[in-house]
Amino acid sequence: MAKKQFKAESKRLLDMMINSIYTQKEIFLRELISNASDAIDKLYYKALTDEQLVFNKEDYYIKIAVDKAARTLTITDTGIGMTQPELENNLGVIAKSGSLAFKKENEVKDGHNIIGQFGVGFYSAFMVAEKITVTSKALGSDEAFKWESTGADGYTITPREKDSVGTEIVLTIKENTEDDQYDEFLEEYRLRAIIKKYSDFIRYPIKMDVTKQRPKEGSDDEFEEYHEEQTINSMVPIWRKNKNELTQEDYENFYTEKRYGFDKPLKHVHISADGAVVYNAILFIPENTPFDYYTKEYEKGLELYSNGVLIMNKCGDLLPDYFSFVKGMVDSDDLSLNISREMLQHDRQLSLIAKNIKNKIKSQLQSMLKDERENYEKFYKSFGRQLKYGVYSDYGANKDVLQDLLLFYSSKEKKLVTLDEYVSRMPEDQKYIYYAAGESIERIEKLPQIEVISEKGYEIMYFTDDIDEFAIKMLMSYKEKEFKSVSSGDLGIDSDVEKDQAEAEDSGNKDLFESMQTILSGKVKKVKTSKRLRSHPVCLSAEGELTIEMEKILKAMPN
Ligand code: ADP
Ligand code: MG
């Protein structure tokens, strides 16, 4: 029988597919299993709308079988199967999603989701297989067909016997080459690990014959091998479970299993969103700062699943930078996922989910701050700096999200306080929110300028983090109160009388001040009388935008 050619665009795609799109070969199994699961979903959906059909969930499964000697890996499903034209259309045209067409035809109702998001999923099998044979019998059909291809040179379709409805895909695994290893895809343990990694939460059992050992009959020390069929996947993902059924420990185990961190999570958020976009998510706020957190190496992101199938390990688009510490996963059936990350970035559903998640994290942090102050301070110790970077970056675009999550050390309370707490305690005559920047609390407390402000009964926020003052500059004000550095020229506390007095003293000591200025030339701009000194004879103050501390930091930065 003459070989049929793939459609031209398919040929090119196939090449691309095998050579570049997927960096990890192992994902071929994820794709085939997800197709098998889709095929069972379709049957399930048909059964729901057709009274003649009975769907017993137990009869439906996916089976993985290995034959090392023949170098074959077989994936069998008891799904809806494919007719001859379907084999032709679905497997002969790459990037045409058959699932999507089915979805449109059948107007799938909420909850019965058959997704066609992979486009070229099936072809990923050519990354590991030199030959693929698909035998399929469609629901309601008496005949079965075999589709066979060795790659870009085309495919054949011929009639073949098959008893039951469903599809059997046989991959003949490539031989190892110097550069590439393929033998691993014939190893039980490896396959099991891949299934666990990507397809653990597929709703139907994924069965495999596993090799086991037992004592040989009539012998104490001899063992024999035997095979036992096992279900590899755990089927019901924790995020699909009801929150009420889950304990704190369940979430902690999940956190550990997933290796989100080596610590225990400080907080988890379990979301089952049912609005404009439907998704489930479990998010964690870690307790400790990951060792590489404040470095370039750290990569933010959440795991992204589509209908129980892992699509991406770290989807960065799901998290704003200022919440980059959040770990966890998102699962949505609504994603019109595509093969390339760029396309994913422009997905409207994905950005809706991202926005939703951002708000959830924010309100979680807010309620922690309100109801679990101690926990919040733990969190703040680990990740507060990131929030302040968030205020500072993007020209303060995110200040509304973040300003109420900030904490600074208070001169009055001797502990961390929020801006709101500060402002709500301000005496009526206090015009500004005062802050003092320095290396440590101890050093700040020795600043001469502190005295006069404290004497007035005003509270001062101590900034000990490099980023603090920069972030505050971006905020400019909070609840209409401007921020004022204690080292700035005009503190806004001198009365007119005091100002006049100072000016009089300035002119009275003109010669003295001028010669001091000459001596200190290049170090200070001006020497003048101050009314803000108490027990100290002298202090430094800054004029203009940059404070002394900020200048220090900028000078210390590498150019
Ligand atoms: P997608 O899954 O995005 O549609 P694939 O390349 O993974 O793209 O699969 C192409 C099409 O082939 C599917 O949409 C489906 O119609 C058909 N198909 C693949 N595998 C199976 C299977 N095991 N049973 C039934 N149909 C299948
Ligand atoms: Mg697919």
Is residue 107 predicted with pLDDT exceeding 50? no
pLDDT in tens, 147-160: 999 887 788 999 99
Q: Which two tokens mark 340?
A: 């390339």
Cα 30 to ligand 2 centroid, rounded to whole Å: 9
From the annotation, which residues make up the binding site? 31, 35, 77, 82, 90, 96-98, 117-122, 167, 341
From the annotation, which residues make up the binding site for ATP? 31, 35, 77, 82, 90, 96-98, 117-122, 167, 341
> Cβ-count burial of 104 within 10 angstroms (0-12 exposed, 13-18 middle, 19+ buried)?
exposed
Cα 309 to ligand 2 centroid, rounded to whole Å: 11
Count of residues for the chain? 559
Q: In what order do the strands lie in the sheet with 433-437?
A: 416-417, 408-410, 460-463, 433-437, 481-485, 477-478
Predicted local distance difference test score (pLDDT) of residue 19 = 63
Of residues 414 and 27, more confidently modeled: 414
Distance CA 107, CA 373 (A): 49
Regarding an ipTM greater than 0.95, the answer is yes
Distance CA 351, CA 403 (A): 23
**Which residue puts its alpha carbon closest to atom 4 of ligand 1?**
97
Distance CA 131, CA 547 (A): 70
Distance CA 301, CA 312 (A): 9
- Whether ligand 1 lies within 6 angstroms of the CB of 117 is answered as yes
CB 361 within 8 A of CB 271: no
Out of 256-265, 329-338, 538-547, least confident range:
538-547
Span 45-70, average pLDDT: 85
Of residues 16 and 527, more confidently modeled: 527
Distance CA 74, CA 132 (A): 10
pLDDT in tens, 366-386: 999 999 999 999 999 999 999
Is residue 105 predicted with pLDDT exceeding 60? no
Predicted local distance difference test score (pLDDT) of residue 165 = 95
Segments in 408-542 forming alpha helices (H): 419-424, 441-445, 448-455, 466-475, 496-508, 510-519
Cα 99 to ligand 1 centroid, rounded to whole Å: 7
Predicted local distance difference test score (pLDDT) of residue 120 = 56
Ligand 1, closest atom to CA 36? 23
Instruction: Compute CA 128 distance to the chain's CA centroid, rounded to the nearest angstrom.
Output: 29
Distance CA 202, CA 464 (A): 50
CB 270 within 8 A of CB 277: no
Ligand 1, closest atom to CA 166? 24
**Which residue puts its alpha carbon closest to atom 21 of ligand 1?**
35
Whose tokens are 């009275």? That residue is: 508
Question: Where does the pLDDT of residue 14 fall: very low under 50, low under 70, confident under 90, or very high at 90 and above?
Answer: low
Distance CA 138, CA 5 (A): 23
Ligand 1, closest atom to CA 120? 6
| Selection from 26-30, 189-193, 242-246, 490-494 with the highest mean pLDDT | 189-193
- Whether ligand 1 lies within 6 angstroms of the CB of 118 is answered as yes
Span 393-409, average pLDDT: 92
**Which residue puts its alpha carbon closest to atom 23 of ligand 1?**
36
> CB under 8 Å to 381, separation ≥6 — which residues?
none
Predicted local distance difference test score (pLDDT) of residue 73 = 98
Of residues 272 and 306, more confidently modeled: 272
Mean predicted lDDT score pLDDT of the chain: 85
Residue 374 C-beta-side C-alpha neighbours within 13 Å: 0
Predicted local distance difference test score (pLDDT) of residue 23 = 63
- Whether ligand 1 lies within 6 angstroms of the CB of 82 is answered as yes
